[in-house]
């Protein structure tokens, strides 16, 4: 007899600000049978974010929330998260810093993808900084979000070799490809322990 409990996909929200290639990739993964998650909500702080197109295309509830007043913005976000029974928040190119109280409220329930081998190169402009420092490798990390920028516990990482004459654009492109493999894997890993 088919098992009815324990195999239900968990609702996740994805926060974006821009292109949304990770969002698109997570949506595609969520449609697979073996996926443990379903993207039920997309929140963008930017009404012009290209990623919103994917939410609309796949008929996923999407909300534009201006983060000019963070308190008001997070109140709205919390309401949506509750309404949609969201179990986990994925930050995928979300360019706003979440408040300490928001992070505390969703402790262990927010994950982020970052384009470097953390703890190296937190913050912005990661590829150029890695190239400038003559690193042999860079990569990407999926980590829990805590109250310090890009410092939460690492869930999964993938190394990418930095090539001779690499530019930050070329490196970013190769790393993004790996991000698309890593993020759904990390998400499934987190959800299997929730």
Applying CB under 6 A, which of residues 10, 12, 22, 109 lies at the interface with ligand GRF?
Answer: 22
For ligand GRF, the closer of residues 19 and 99 by Cβ is: 19
On whether the CB atoms of residues 114 and 176 are closer than 8 A, the answer is: no
Q: Which stretch binds ligand GRF (CB under 6 A): 11-19, 30-38, 72-80, 98-106?
A: 11-19
Q: Which is nearer to ligand GRF, 71 or 137 (CB)?
A: 137
Per CB under 6 A, does 179 bind ligand GRF? yes
CA angle in degrees (0–180, nearest 5) for 102-194-9:
100
Which of 10, 18, 127, 187 is in the footprint of ligand GRF by CB under 6 A?
18
Residues 115 and 76 sit within 8 Å (Cβ to Cβ): no
First vs last C-alpha separation in the chain = 25
Count CB neighbours of 111 within 10 A: 24
For 169, counting Cβ atoms within 10 Å of its Cβ (0-12 exposed, 13-18 middle, 19+ buried), the class is: exposed
Instruction: Given the residues 114, 127, 143, 180, select the one marked as catalytic.
Output: 114
Query: Residue 46 interacts with ligand GRF (CB under 6 A)?
Result: no
Does 152 engage in binding with ligand GRF (CB under 6 A)? no
- Applying CB under 6 A, what is the total number of residues that bind ligand GRF? 14
Report the nearest approach of ligand GRF to the CB of residue 175 (Å): 7
Q: How far is the CB of 187 from ligand GRF (least distance, A)?
A: 14
Are 157 and 114 spatial neighbours (Cβ–Cβ below 8 Å)?
Answer: no
Rounded to whole angstroms, the Cα distance separating 131 from 138 reads 9
93 binds ligand GRF per the rule CB under 6 A? yes
Kindly identify the residues of this chain, within the stretch 131-150, that bind ligand GRF according to CB under 6 A.
none
Residue 45 in contact with ligand GRF, rule: CB under 6 A = no
Instruction: Work out whether 30 is an interface residue with ligand GRF (CB under 6 A).
Output: no
Residue 29 annotated among the catalytic residues of the structure: no
**Helical spans, DSSP H, in 4-69:** 21-30, 52-57
- Count CB neighbours of 183 within 10 A: 25
Residue 115 found at the interface with ligand GRF (CB under 6 A)? yes
CB 129, CB 118: distance < 8 Å? no
Interface with ligand GRF (CB under 6 A):
16, 18-22, 51, 92-93, 113-115, 176, 179
The residues carrying an active-site annotation are: 114
């Amino acid at each position: 007899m088919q098992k009815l409990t324990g195999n239900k996909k968990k609702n996740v929200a994805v926060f974006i600000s821009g292109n949304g290639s990770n969002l698109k990739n997570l949506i595609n993964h969520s449609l697979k049978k073996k996926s443990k998650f379903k993207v039920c909500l997309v929140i963008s702080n930017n009404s012009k974010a290209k990623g919103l197109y994917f939410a609309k295309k796949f008929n996923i509830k999407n909300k534009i929330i201006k983060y000019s007043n963070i308190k008001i913005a997070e109140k709205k976000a919390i309401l949506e998260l509750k309404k949609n029974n969201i179990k986990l928040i994925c930050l995928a190119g979300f360019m706003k810093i979440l408040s300490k109280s928001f992070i505390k409220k969703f402790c262990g329930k927010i994950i982020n993808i970052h384009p470097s081998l953390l703890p190296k190169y937190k913050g912005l402009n990661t590829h150029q900084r890695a190239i400038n420092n003559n690193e042999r490798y860079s990569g990407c990390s999926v980590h829990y979000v805590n109250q310090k920028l890009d410092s939460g516990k690492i869930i999964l990482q993938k190394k990418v070799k930095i090539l001779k004459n690499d530019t930050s654009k070329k490196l970013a492109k190769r790393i993004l490809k790996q991000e698309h493999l890593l993020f759904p894997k990390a998400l499934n890993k987190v959800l299997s322990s929730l």
